[in-house]
Amino acid sequence: MLLSFTFTAPELILSVGAMVLLLVAGWRGDAAVRGIGFGALGLFVLAGLSLLGNAGHGGIAFGGLYHADAFASFAKVLIYIAAGVSVVLAHGFFQRSGELRAEYPILILLSAAGMGMMVSAGDLLTLYVGLELQSLSAYVLASFMRRDQRSAEAGLKYFVLGALASGILLYGIALIYGFTGTTQFGGIHSSFVTQMAATGHLPTGLLFGLVFLLAGLAFKISAVPFHMWTPDVYEGAPTPVTAFFASAPKVAAMALLARVTVEALGPATLAWRQIIIFSSLASIVLGAVAAIGQTNIKRLLAYSSINNVGFALIGLAAGTAEGISAVLVYMAVYVVMTLGSFLCVLKMRGNDGRQLEEIAALSGLSRTRPGLAAALAMFMFSLAGIPPLFGFYPKFAVFQAATNAGLFWLAVAGAVGSVVGAYYYLKIIKTMYFDEPAPEFAPSDDKVEGGLIAIAAVIISPLGYLAIPALTAATLAAAKALF
Amino acid sequence: MNQLGFPILTLLIAVPTFGAIACLFSDAKAARWVALVATLIDFALGLTLWATYQVGGPQWQFQEHLGLFGSFGWSLGIDGIALMLILLSVFLMPICIIASWEAIQKRVPEYMAAFLLMETLMIGVFTAQDLFLFYIFFEAGLIPMYLIIGIWGGADRIYASYKFFLYTLLGSIVMLIAMLWMANYAHSTFIPTLMVTDFPVRAQTLLFLAFFASFAVKMPMWPVHTWLPDAHVQAPTAGSVILAGVLLKMGGYGFIRFSLPMFPEASAQLFWLVAGLSSVAIVYTSLVALVQQDMKKLIAYSSVAHMAFVTFGLFAFNRQGLEGSLLVMLSHGLVSGALFLCVGVVYDRLHTREISRYGGVSTNMPKYALLFMLFTMASVGLPGTSGFVGEFLSMLGIYGASSWAGAIATTGIILGAAYMLFLYRRVAQGPLDKPDVAAMADISPREMLTLVPLALVVLWMGVYPKSFSEPMKKDVGVVLARTDRAWKGGDAKLTKGSAKPVVVAEGEAH
């Protein structure tokens, strides 16, 4: 039992640390917000370091409820980095809007603890608990700017739809439990094997359970047709929160989906593959087509995230270790591109200090702020998957996995879909480079934001290709942990 | 490593890259000089490459390999075909920079950086020996070209830039999937290995079509050529030169590097497709060129027609056709580049490309008229100019493949002469009755500097084409060795007869 606790060190560090910081916040009030922010960053670093020990590769803990393997570690590192960046980039934003409060880093910490549980879950119930912990923090974060009507609306919408999705998920869990007699992934796996061997096909009850389970999880990764909440929530939530939603929880939910489909539903690959393929292509097409008419940059990035999830799902549809590794590569690069784009969006401030969200405000940015425009253009080309930017490589990896798994036509369809998607990314570049300048943005001397943008830009520049061998080795080791 | 002892190909790629970065951090004046120096260094490196290339030596020379990127690597190396196309690129680049010296006044550092980046990517395409490295270079050219058309282009630049980008992206992304399939099948991404891999005949057809989608758009072939006139008209002069001079060659290079040697059976089976599209292109685009009112559009359509000669010759499956096509590619790169520069000269003075606004410039611009005439004749294919050699050889090759195709291709030559001479008559000859046209000054020394080197090379290639065809001879043979087993031969049945002198009986003579 004590050994099991060492396996869960990251979650322990994060949740205990969050409680301590909550006490500090209660005691000192919003005056301590800076210290709490640094505290949260320190906790993320500690949690990340703890993965070097038992927590990183220990194996199964608490009798199968929790897995501490390479797969979970890789996802956790990504999650902690994304969450840490979300803490950093929020400081300036909330300071300017006068909503600087100590709860923000603590909610992110709790959410990250939930995400850690999600990616380490070895049982449907751990999965559900982790998911809910993450979601509840997220609902609060979405409506963090209480006085802002859009933020409140976003929080409410997210909560209602999220609760519905959780219900669907629970129903799926119940069905699977009912027909297999267990909630552990390993047990479900063997039950699928025996039942399919006995009847020669997938029993209807299990099929229903599988469909409901996937539907609930598809909501979390905002894959079509469960994506409707995404644009509204992304637009309404404060920008740093949107950046957070688009990065860390996406990684966690995608990793969770990969683990569930492979570890628990592996024998039924042919059944869930059709669902994933449909969802993937629908996400790619809808994410691309619906984004074209958007005038708000945050809404546009919401559709972009739907579009990108579609591509990541192509890797999952392959269902091989190579495919899962491609999904992890995709998420890693996607997180960098997304956070980079949102950091640029945060820089869009009018001279009156108001945050701008209209794409038209970017007009002629290449002449007023050439550095910022170049960075955002890089992120956009990279999201569109145009080489030589690094955003090309994850698309390459998922297409490769799909082709090697025999899903040749899926790769072709995805590739054609990416052309449609390129159009709206180009539209932003066109606005920045070809149009006449709009009023200049307020000067910004935030060294941290600028530095983070520069780091993200360097990672997705062609220099990123040098990281491929290391990235492939890490993701392949992670993916092999599932098989 | 190679015969020089230092990685010259990497250096060729690196020089413009660093030049581009340096340009971004300098002002307009410095950026011009940085760009010029970088392109001249690259030109010097290119000449070194030519001087040290062993004609008849190993098939692949100057090879470099670094397994940097996991599933694919930094593999470079060239054969004679790549060598010639690299020379064309490095030769045209300094000319483009000089041509934009004064014409481009807004956002000069970015402009120069975009051009240097283009050069990096073009050389990358011709040197890459890894399938995916090739793809990255091939596709990445979209970004600088999109910006060049969109920022420095003319009135409809935004529409043209979108069209260019999305057309070419759609074409090449399908190719990417085909490449993934091939890498999976052959367990290698090394192009020389893939060139001798026998892919299953049934898969070849699909693979061929996927590659065809990409190269046909880049080429461009009818009916996917419509992006080209738009892009040309809106691009700045130097942009057009690079577009016509080098970017269009990527399609032809792709056909000869990938389609023919890797999918010989499919190439032979789909001869009708290529020949059909090329026939339509030759006749149709020539007729379209005949009625153009815009000088750049006219030359753009003539490019499509010339490129149809290239595809025709490539798919003739004989030595004359292939060598002719390669020479047409080189010659067209020089001539169409020069023609766009000629248009640029008068455009900079009068700011219109409308043909009817000009007339009689040979009176007040004799030097210009002479050079313009030379390039017009080269485009028509007059013997003694570069155009003749390639067109004659590829016609010979086409006739060997199909006599019908040969007949259609010939009409292209006649129509080509018609529209080019018609253009020259309307611009350079006739009465000099427009006061603003009469006020134009003859070409400046700077413009001379761009046009004269091109004129010299055009004449060189016309008089002694062997300097250019010799390095490619062996590599053409390699491609033919792959296609010969699949191609059954054309309908012309060319066999060497024995000449019989006509003996006339003495008594019947009058």
| Mean pLDDT rounded to a whole number for chain B | 86
**Which tokens go with B371?**
């050079």
* DSSP code for A265: T
Q: B28: which 2 tokens?
A: 């307009």
DSSP character at residue B4: T
Residue B99, pLDDT > 90, answer no
Coil/strand/helix, residue B458? helix
Interface contact flag, A469 B136, Cβ < 8 Å? no
Smallest Cα–Cα separation from B289: which of B405, B420, B388, B379?
A: B420
CA distance B209 to B174: 9
Are the C-beta atoms of A93 and A238 separated by less than 8 Å? yes
Dist. CA B27–CA B14, nearest whole Å: 22
A466–B68: do the CB atoms touch at under 8 Å?
yes
Please give the structure tokens belonging to residue B154.
């003319």
**Cβ pair A419:B173 closer than 8 A:** yes
DSSP 8-class letter at A267: G
How do residues B37-96 score in pLDDT, each as one tens digit? 999 999 999 999 888 888 888 888 888 888 777 778 888 888 889 999 999 999 999 998
B185 close contact with A: CB closer than 8 A: no
User: In what helix (H) or strand (E) does residue B61 lie, and over which residues does it extend?
Assistant: strand B61-69
Nearest CA in chain A to B154: A434
The span from the CA of A216 to the CA of A238, in Å, is: 25
DSSP character string of A324-392: HHHHHHHHHHHHHHHHHHHHHHHT-B-TTSPBP-BGGGGTTHHHH-HHHHHHHHHHHHHHHT-TTSTTH
DSSP A106-128: HHHHHHHHHHHHHHHB-BHHHHH
Share of chain B above pLDDT 70, in %: 96
pLDDT in tens, B101-157: 887 788 888 888 888 998 999 999 999 999 999 999 999 988 888 888 888 777 778
Q: Which of A387, A422, A468 sits opposite B166 (nearest CB)?
A: A422
Residue owning tokens 């957070």 = A244
B151 near A CB under 8 A: yes
ipTM, 2 decimals? 0.90
The CB density around residue A427, as the number of other CB atoms within 10 Å, is 18
Q: Are B100 and B236 in contact (CB under 8 A)?
A: yes
Q: Contact at 8 Å (CB) between B374 and B335?
A: no
CB of A409 less than 8 A from some CB of B: no
Task: Looking at the complex, report in whole angstroms how far the Cα of residue A171 sits from the nearest Cα belonging to chain B.
Answer: 39
Contact B71 A400 (CB under 8 A): yes
What 3-state DSSP class applies to B228?
Answer: helix
Q: Give the span between the Cα atoms of B48 and B39, in whole angstroms.
A: 14
Q: Per this entry, what is the length of chain A? A: 483
- Token output for A420: 């449609």
Q: Which residues of B256-265 are buried (b: 16+ CB within 10 A; e: fewer)?
A: bbbbbbbbbb
Using alpha carbons, select from B78, B80, B90, B84 the residue that is nearest to residue B15: B90
Give the number of residues written for chain B: 510
Q: Is A399 on the interface with B (CB under 8 A)?
A: yes
- Asked if the C-beta of B167 comes within 8 angstroms of chain A's C-beta atoms, the answer is no
Report helix, strand or coil for B110: helix
- CB within 8 Å: B173 and A408: no
* Residues B470-492 as b or e (16 or more Cβ within 10 Å = b): ebbebbbebbbebbeebbeebee
Q: Is B169 on the interface with A (CB under 8 A)?
A: yes
* Distance in angstroms (rounded) separating the CA atoms of residues A283 and A226: 10
Contact of A392 with A311, CB cutoff 8 Å: no
Q: Determine, for residues A408 and B181 on separate chains, whether the beta-carbon distance falls below 8 Å.
A: yes
Bridge partners (DSSP) listed for residue A123: A184
Contacts of B178 in chain A (CB under 8 A): none
Lowest mean pLDDT among B230-244, B270-284, B302-316: B230-244
Per-residue confidence (pLDDT) for residue A249, from 0 to 100: 93
Distances (CA, A) of B251 to B30, B122, B343: 34, 12, 25
Rounded to a whole number, what is the distance in Å from the CA of A372 to chain B's nearest CA? 14
Who's near B287: CB < 8 A, 6+ residues apart? B415
Size of interface A-B (CB pairs under 8 A): 87
Tell me, what amino acid is at A19? M
What are the start-end ranges of the H helices in B402-444?
403-428, 435-438
Measured between CA atoms, how close is B255 to chain A, in angstroms? 21
Cα–Cα distances (Å) from B369 to B60, B289, B360, B440, in that order, read 43, 21, 9, 13
In order along its 483 residues, chain A shows pLDDT tens digits of 677 888 888 999 999 999 999 999 888 877 888 889 999 999 999 999 998 887 777 788 888 899 999 999 999 999 999 999 999 988 888 888 887 888 899 999 999 999 999 999 999 999 999 999 999 999 999 988 888 888 899 999 999 999 999 999 999 999 999 999 999 999 999 999 999 988 888 888 899 999 999 999 999 999 988 998 999 999 999 999 999 999 999 999 999 999 999 999 988 888 899 999 999 999 999 999 999 889 999 999 999 999 999 999 999 999 899 999 999 999 999 999 999 999 999 888 888 878 888 888 888 888 888 889 999 999 999 999 888 899 999 999 999 999 999 888 899 899 888 888 888 899 999 999 888 888 888 887 778 888 999 999 999 998 988 899 999 999 999 999 888
Chain A residues in contact with B16 (beta carbon < 8 A): none
Q: Do B169 and A388 touch (CB under 8 A)?
A: no
Instruction: Looking at the complex, report in whole angstroms how far the Cα of residue A288 sits from the nearest Cα belonging to chain B.
Output: 14
In the prediction, which pLDDT does B493 show? 63
| 3-state helix/strand/coil string of B339-391 | HHHHHHHHHHHHCCCEHHHCCCHHHHCHHHHHHHHHHHHHHHCCCCCHHHHHH
Q: Cα separations (Å) of A367 from A348, B66, B473?
A: 15, 39, 50
Closest CA to B39 of B106, B110, B123: B123
Partner residue opposite A433 with nearest CB, options B68, B142, B151? B151
Contacts of A422 in chain B (CB under 8 A): 165-166, 169
Provide the H-helix boundaries in A121-238.
124-142, 149-180, 185-199, 204-220, 229-236
Nearest residue to B82 via CA among B163, B184, B9, B3: B9
Helix or strand or coil: residue B18? helix
- Residue among B142, B158, B177 whose CB faces A430 most closely: B158
Candidates B60, B272, B162; CA nearest to A292 is B162
**Nearest neighbour of B181 by CB, restricted to A387, A403, A466:** A403
Q: Does A477 contact B at CB distance below 8 Å? A: no
Q: What is residue B505's predicted lDDT score, i.e. its pLDDT?
A: 59
pLDDT of residue A3: 79
Q: Does A379 touch chain B (CB under 8 A)?
A: no
Position B2 scores a pLDDT of 63
B323 touches chain A (CB under 8 A): no
If phi > 0 it is left, if psi is from -120 to 50 it is alpha, else beta; for residue B56 that is left
Residue type, B101: W
pLDDT for residue B457 is more than 90: yes
Cα A154 to Cα A151, A230, A296, distances in angstroms: 5, 10, 15
| Nearest Cα to Cα of residue B295 among B401, B154, B198 | B154
* Residues B234, B149: Cα–Cα separation, whole Å: 6
Side-chain-side CA neighbours of A132 within 13 Å: the count stands at 12
Q: Which of B70, B135, B180 sits opposite A403 (nearest CB)?
A: B180
How high is the pLDDT of residue B507?
A: 55
B501 pLDDT exceeds 90?
no
pLDDT digits (tens, 9 = 90+) for B193-241: 888 888 888 888 989 998 998 888 888 888 888 888 888 887 888 888 8
Using CB atoms, pick whichever of B136, B166, B180 lies closest to residue A399. Answer: B180
Q: Do B146 and A426 touch (CB under 8 A)?
A: yes
User: In percent, how much of chain B has pLDDT > 90?
Assistant: 18
Contact B31, B117 (CB under 8 A): no
